[in-house]
Chains A and B, each alone.
Chain A
């Protein structure tokens, strides 16, 4: 084990810093896009994607990756966009896509030019995703798709949807599903916004009526969609489980504790607040080093074992703790809406903390609820028997 930053890594850090200093911030149209392209060309972003598909094709190096994240974060320079396309679809295509699919979709997805949404959940199929009923029939060279998706984040902004569709109605539940790519900008795709409890509409219902997509816009074979979707879900867990975000949350929480007061003193001086911050830090540090372990194993092409299964629940639990403490710190402002502006604690702070307070619940449900995570940990991680009902219904 070696976690010290040797001189080579320190000079790498200097190099990254110099790159950022030279290129960010910049002005004009498409500044972010241009910066990202430069960063990719210099080997700082999408290190594990081949050059051919718009990546920078670098050897996996967890510490270099960490240094890049640190330095980009420090300078608030745009890193890899957080969207569902770069974090979920692109890795899935890399693993399961055909050559032309990779070439057509990955590069522009990585730069954030193509926006994707994930069409998995349906009104009757959430935790039991494999029961989904949206159907696809082959009509000559095209799939004709009919059904309804729900909770589709960002569908109102998306160019394309990666979608699970039942194409083999006679096959067993999990074997009748295909993974199709759909152009969202066509007749028959109707996106209706759904408001979240925060008051804004970030997710949608998507009605698909005789929607068409070319026969070869399928990832994996017919009936293999469930397996392909597991690749994507793995990537979703990876990205949601990112240790970076929990570390940032803790830092922001500590800043909040400096700005707010408790018993007439800055809250950060209150022993109870300090204890709770330090308690959260225990989890955050564990999260960070678990991230290192994951990266190292990934680099070696090995599995990190059951740890992988735990990361989503682990990180959403941290967000719950952060949320609860933030609510204590903002005091009376805890009565404000997620989108409010108010005096007291600086306006943006309170409102964004309340937004985060609510969003920590959305994140806990999205991508598989906490209970489903627990089932996965218990069954796949600990080897306990499968839930009886789930076993019956998968037949």
Chain B
């Protein structure tokens, strides 16, 4: 038994973390929060580390690593609330790696691997229809219809679109009839958009239908990882504040009530680290458990993240309720992680249907 990250994975986390801290500390995030402009310098710096192509096969210009590597990076980016297109991008790359033919891979993956081209995924349809089984947008011919909550659609060069029958198609930037509308979303570090197609050209990924649930499951494990990182950050912020803020002549952290609340938060963070590791690891190594465990990990960890967000506001008192307090940044990332790709209750329902103990 060796259930632990490798030295390389730790290094990766450390390197990405240092970069995130240096290039985009929270002061910088706060400053840019209301600017819609893509932080191209930050994405370039991440690209120089190879982040966009981590799991893209070596022959297509990537590092040929695994979902767990994507997940440890997601945890780190979640900890730092790093803005940018990471999540949609690596999922789009994954979809093309798994679902594309050789020619498509050759054409698209190298640009995605260097980060020079940005990818994203368009899964949701009206009424929270995230699941491949629920997609109704037809891919028979050119696309006409709407996709909702598409991350970074404004800067994406490639959009991997979920289609009826669980198929996947690719729409390229500038395609005729493609319209992108900004959504007034809570998380301003990962903006989402509505995408409309009007007789828009698409290219079908031949193995898409066999791939789309796997792409979703990778997404679920990355969201769980992001949520774990964000939860850890909120906990750290609360602990730091409890050590500095004084009331009644002592630091508030010396009140047992608050101390226990912070301890409870910690119990909702550290034990979940192994859960997201396994969910991500299973994607490559334990295929028969991958779907169920990623549903459980996403539902559980993003749900806890949201509650930790709520508890963090309370632990900070009045300042916790303000825009200027950093808590709100992670609170809103929790809103994203919780809702994106489907809410906890939907994934729990699916997990129960797949559960050996339920049959």
Interface residues of A (CB under 8 A from B): 121, 124-128, 131, 150-151, 194-197, 199, 261-263, 272, 320, 327-328, 331-344, 354, 358, 361-362, 364-366, 369-371, 374-375, 387, 389-390, 392-393
Contact = CB atoms under 8 A, between A and B. Distances in A.
Interface of B: 124, 126-128, 130, 148-149, 183-187, 192, 246-250, 252, 254-255, 257-258, 261, 306, 310, 313-314, 317-318, 320-325, 327-328, 331, 335-336, 338-340, 342-346, 349
Contacts of B338: 327, 334
B249 A392 contact: yes
A218 to B, nearest CB: 26
B249 A369 contact: no
A335 B323 contact: no
Contact of A197 (B258, B306, B313, B349): B313
A261 B255 contact: no
Given A151-B318, A196-B322, A389-B250, A335 B313 contact: no
8 contacts: A127-B248, A335-B192, A337-B186, A339-B184, A365-B320, A369-B317, A371-B257, A389-B254
A283 to B, nearest CB: 18
A366 B255 CA distance: 19
A261 B344 CA distance: 15
A340 B254 contact: no
Contacts of A375: 257
A364 B247 contact: no
Nearest to A344: B126
A364 B184 contact: no
Contacts of B343: 327-328, 331-332, 334
A354 B126 contact: no
A362 B339 contact: no
Contacts of A124: 246
Contacts of B327: 197
Contact of B335 (A128, A335, A341, A389): A335
A340 B324 CA distance: 20
A361 B307 CA distance: 11
Nearest to B307: A324
Contacts of B186: 335-338, 354
B331 A197 contact: yes
Contacts of A261: 127
A61 B210 CA distance: 69
B310 A361 contact: yes
A354 B306 CA distance: 13
Nearest to A261: B127
Contacts of A338: 186
A320 B186 CA distance: 19
A364 B126 CA distance: 34
Contacts of B306: 327
A332 B149 contact: yes
Contacts of A362: 321
Contacts of A335: 149, 183, 185-187, 192, 335-336, 339-340
A131 B246 CA distance: 11
B302 to A, nearest CB: 11
A340 B183 contact: yes
A388 to B, nearest CB: 9
A340 B317 contact: no
B345 A334 contact: no
Contact of A365 (B126, B250, B317, B335): B317
A360 to B, nearest CB: 8
